[in-house]
Amino acid sequence: MSAKQTDQNITKSGISGIWSGRYWYNKADFYIPTTVGFSANLYENNWDITGQTLEPNTFVLSELEELSAIVSGGRSESLVQFVKKYEDVPELMDYDILYSGEVNESNDRIVGNWSILMDLTSSTGGFELNRISTIASLKRSSAIEL
């Protein structure tokens, strides 16, 4: 595959790929670290976004070392919005974490904010993600074409 073909596949796949980044809290609540690293596998198809995230367990009182979540949302030009829902953590499954950010022109960096409302308490913060690979998007688009 030529570099031009690869560039066209990346453009077609939008923000699909493997991402690495961090999120942070606007104020330090509880005994949670103020910055948490996380990774995301995102798939974009016709402006719809689905995927998964993985992060160290920094706030759930359990023996889980890592927390996984499902993400779903959409994109309109540079605006990226998705909802993150933790899996395997019954006390968090009913709460949506709303992410809203801007993707840069090369589709390899997203910066924005997140928020969650839990009962009468809310938390907010920011996040940034950097795409580290488009391999997942290329494999997924090849599988769809078959």
DSSP 8-state class, residue 97: E
| 37-76 pLDDT tens trace | 999 999 999 999 999 999 999 888 888 999 999 999 999 9
pLDDT of residue 91: 84
| 88-117 pLDDT tens trace | 888 888 899 999 999 999 999 999 999 999
Torsional class of 129: left (φ above 0), alpha (ψ -120 to 50), beta (otherwise): beta
Residues 86 and 71: their CA atoms lie apart, in Å, by 9
Topology (CATH) of 3-145: Lipocalin (2.40.128)
The whole-number average pLDDT for the span 13-35 is 84
Mean pLDDT of the chain: 85
| φ and ψ of 83, to 5 deg | -105, 135
pLDDT over 50 at 145, yes or no:
no
pTM over 0.85: no
Residues 111 and 55: their CA atoms lie apart, in Å, by 18
